[in-house]
Chain A
Amino acid sequence: MLTLLRDLRRLRRDTALPQGRPASIAIRHVDAGSCNGCEHELTLATSPYVDLQRFGLGVVASPRHADVLLVTGPVTTRMREPLLTAYHAMPEPRRVAALGDCALGCNLLGSASELVGAVEELLPVDLRIPGCPPDPERIANALLALLEPS
């Protein structure tokens, strides 16, 4: 156990993230049509190198428990309704984060008839996390900004 903790401390020493546990936020992720790159990086934001959970940030199973809707991908026409349903299932106050260049409407690939486009075409976006895809450290840093008192 001690070895494990020492290993974790060593892994985390080099990441430029704040120390401590300032607050807690529940995140609901919705893939609205991504290439799966953002999902793979978001998954590693919970790996031992970054370990989002230690800051009180966790991905929850239902939008009904969530403070933040974290959306990836250019919104496809087929994911428009499910995305809106998830948003409306969230309690107030709620915030929306757009993860990755596609969610921000940059360099979208695809047929116009299949894409709605950027997340902000549908929902008010509070946090923008650019990158194709943004790496786990960048995702974590951006999400931690939500914990700053505004």
Chain B
Amino acid sequence: MSDHRERFALALSDGWRFADLHSTPTEIRTLLVRDDGRTLLERTPHAGSVPTIVDLAPAAGWDEREAHDRDGVRFEGHEPLRPLLDHDLRLDRWTVPVHGHDAHQVAVGPIHAGVIESGHFRFHVVGERILHLDARLFYKHRGLERAAEGRTLDEGLAYAARACGACAAANGIAYALACEDALGLAPTPQLARVRTLLLELERMWSHLNDIAAVCAGVGLAAGNNRFAALTERARRLNAALTGHRFLFGSVRVGGSDLLIERVVVHAAREEVEALREESRSAWRELLFNGSFQDRLPDVGVLDAANARILGAVGPAARAAGVAEDARAAASGLAYDGFAPVVPKRAAGDVRARLEQRALELLQTFEVLERLLEGRIGPADAAPGGVERPIGVGRVESARGATSCVVERDGDRVARLRLRTGSYANWPAVAHAAVGNLLPDFPLINKSFELCYACADR
């Protein structure tokens, strides 16, 4: 079955990029994307074994480990194939051996010292310096993808959306787009508008929260409080528009039932303008706070070359100078004329990732102000496209490109795969931590601000 690897290598040389790999009991499926937003799904039957592609696309490392744990697929050449989903009790099965004078391990988690999701980090350190980090997540694995199998396509939405409360709109919309792709439905401009609105509302509170988190990470209470208050206002705005602070229940396969009267839309637009002005002023205060700014440069560096190799996405990749954003070529959404931004000093450190959030917030305010014009009414996707057994949906969540692949059996889910921006970026966090001081890890981690729930599913 070596054509899996050969076709993948050919696609790479043809300008395609790796986006996802997942398994079924009988197939390996590889998703590739192009800059213009086109996707290509390669399907290869496997009889328990296929050649690895991890040397061609290191970003597939986690995917192959997951496929092995889930369906027992062996990837020839991927050695050692460490467990990912499975929690092997033997330390040497899932950690990288680190030897040398005074090298020792520091185990952190799964329960952390604040209000933080659960996950385990095994640091290999000398003194306070991190030599290597093994992240062992999936403590929150709820088996959502498997549980969705056999449900109707409508019911399946909850399993994708609720994988993560913080990315519920992005995950839900990626799922809806995948189903519609399989059903031969195309979102109308009205549907595209309401979904883009939801995605940007989610990004607004999320980026405000992430800036607050970095302030908290260095102990700057004033900055944390200011951005936390703005986050609260953004969530209240979500509730005013959709009835839910995290936009739960606002996404539907094949259409939208959201009804927002003109006067509510108008008030929301005024609030977005107010949030834009106040976050600008709060950001200015951070810029002129020397002791805060001194903590940020050269910490947790992920440079452009490694961001590409590791397949990093979203603000973390753009902060390293990789100007890729799924919004620039999104189909079925209303991002006309959207161009990715990167900071002037795209050093890929904590400072650049923080600046990236501030830059993207400005874009988000702009898109929201454009979309919050006039009444929002029910909308439907238009039929008439080609029906197929497997559909693909891709959106840019606040953490980065999120892909959803849905295989259907009539109107039921046969296989669901959700590969979120967080899943893509966790290996980059482990990379960025190397060479830094252990006490700086919380700050580095917060500058990526990835969801554990999004990865664990």
Q: Which A residues are within 8 Å of any B CB, using their own CB?
A: 11, 29-44, 46-49, 59, 61-62, 73-74, 76, 78-79, 82, 86, 109-111, 113-115, 132-133, 135-136
Contacts and interface: CB of A to CB of B under 8 A. Distances in A.
Nearest to B206: A40
A49 B138 CA distance: 33
Contacts of B365: none
Given A11-B229, A82-B118, A109-B144, A34 B453 contact: yes
Given A36-B164, A49-B229, A76-B139, 19 more contacts: A29-B114, A30-B111, A33-B118, A35-B162, A36-B451, A36-B454, A39-B116, A39-B117, A40-B165, A40-B246, A48-B228, A49-B232, A76-B141, A76-B142, A109-B144, A110-B143, A110-B147, A114-B141, A136-B232
Contacts of A111: 142-144, 146-147
Interface in B191-220: 209
Given A35-B164, A114-B142, A136-B232, A109 B147 contact: yes
Interface string B240-261: 0000011010000000000000
B165 A38 contact: yes
A44 B147 contact: no
Interface in B102-126: 110-111, 113-118
A113 B141 CA distance: 11
Interface residues of B, number: 40
A79 B142 CA distance: 11
A109 B142 contact: yes
Contacts, number: 119
B142 A33 contact: yes
A39 B116 CA distance: 7
A79 B118 contact: yes
A132 B162 CA distance: 11
20 contacts: A11-B229, A30-B111, A31-B452, A32-B118, A35-B165, A36-B164, A36-B452, A37-B168, A40-B166, A41-B245, A46-B228, A48-B229, A74-B142, A79-B118, A111-B142, A111-B143, A114-B141, A114-B143, A133-B165, A133-B245
A17 to B, nearest CB: 14
B117 A34 contact: yes
A79 B456 CA distance: 12
A43 B215 CA distance: 14
Contact of B138 (A40, A46, A78): A78
B225 to A, nearest CB: 5
Contacts of A62: 113
B287 to A, nearest CB: 19
A76 B146 CA distance: 15
B453 A35 contact: yes
A53 B231 CA distance: 19
Given A44-B228, A78-B141, A82-B139, A109 B162 contact: yes
A135 B163 CA distance: 19
B114 A59 contact: yes
B75 interface: no
Contacts of A29: 114-115
B93 interface: no
A86 B111 contact: yes
Nearest to B248: A132
A109 B139 contact: no
B232 A44 contact: yes
A59 B114 CA distance: 7
Given A31-B140, A109-B159, A61 B453 contact: no
B418 interface: no
A47 B228 contact: yes
Given A44-B235, A115-B142, A30 B453 contact: no
B351 to A, nearest CB: 23
